[in-house]
Amino acid sequence: MTTTTIEPKPMTTDEPLILTETDGHVAIIRINRPKVLNALNPALMTMMAEQMEAYDRDDDIYVIVLAGSERAFAAGADIADMAEQSTISMYKRDQFATWERIKKIKKPIVAAVSGFALGGGCELMMHCDVIICSETAQIGQPEINLGVMPGAGGTQRLTRAVGKALAMDVILTGRFLSAQEALDHGLVSRVVPPEHFFTEAMQVAKEMAKKGPIALRLAKEGVLKAHEMSLSEGLEYERKLFYTLFATEDQKEGMRAFVEKRKPEFKGK
């Protein structure tokens, strides 16, 4: 039997792993490893988490858009990087701590998904709040083909999104869902023609950025709790978030603007 050692592709310094820009109150993060279909390695994930946290702290940013390329949102965790790892080395590198940081981002994240969203790419997509998907998207958890299984939440989030029967089908066979199937089963928010996936995501983000940023954050928190709490606990939690918003200037502005028949000007206060 011959064994081959698989070397991760070298990173060159002139190719940033992520690209960032802002447009008004919207920040855009693009995954940038086109040669490997945006495979997610630990350095990229750390950079992404750091950038998201920076935007989370930035009062001028209300919404984050996370995008890949037309060909791939992300085709999974970097297989070459993982191929020779052991249980202990994986345990020690604790890469899921980085994913936990992304999970804790308070501002809404809009995913702009085109092409492959597989394995860790699908799991990253499911960390986002509103998912705008090109008709070309191919979504799946094909880790089973590699002798492993999802590790960044796939068995949990996919099951909660689409139900046990379809989650088992996708995870145990490794088959890809089309964008339409993903939409039909509540995994993604909207499906649009390929040429519009990014502009639609930006439009959604800009629409959200017109709202009060504190209300956006608390509303996101409320929806996410629906997956973690019983109905009674969740309703109680929601009420507390709702009451909290009456301590904000944005609540006064939003309701007064309605009564005065004008557009509100939210300030995030």
What are the residue numbers of the active site? 77, 120, 123, 143
Distance CA 9, CA 11 (A): 6
- Angstrom distances, CA of residue 195 to CA of 179, 181, 187: 14, 20, 21
User: In the complex, what is the shortest distance from the CB of residue 146 to ligand HXC, in angstroms, rounded to a whole number?
Assistant: 6
User: In the complex, what is the shortest distance from the CB of residue 16 to ligand HXC, in angstroms, rounded to a whole number?
Assistant: 18
Sole residue written with tokens 């995994």: 187
Whichever of 148 and 165 has its CB closer to ligand HXC, that residue is: 148
Q: Determine the straight-line distance between the first and last CA of the chain, rounded to whole angstroms.
A: 65
Q: Does 37 bind ligand HXC (CB under 6 A)?
A: yes
Whichever of 179 and 209 has its CB closer to ligand HXC, that residue is: 179
Whichever of 119 and 213 has its CB closer to ligand HXC, that residue is: 119
Residue 77 contacts residue 101 (beta carbons within 8 Å): no
Q: Which stretch binds ligand HXC (CB under 6 A): 33-41, 200-208, 215-223, 251-259?
A: 33-41
Whichever of 131 and 202 has its CB closer to ligand HXC, that residue is: 131
Question: What tokens appear for 258 in the block?
Answer: 């309605």
Binding residues among 116-155 for ligand HXC as defined by CB under 6 A: 116, 118-120, 142-143, 145-146, 151-152
Residue from 26, 27, 29, 39 touching ligand HXC (CB under 6 A): that is 39
Question: What tokens appear for 129 in the block?
Answer: 């709040």
Distance CA 25, CA 3 (A): 51
Distance CA 103, CA 74 (A): 17
- Footprint of ligand HXC on this chain (CB under 6 A)? 36-37, 39, 75-80, 116, 118-120, 142-143, 145-146, 151-152
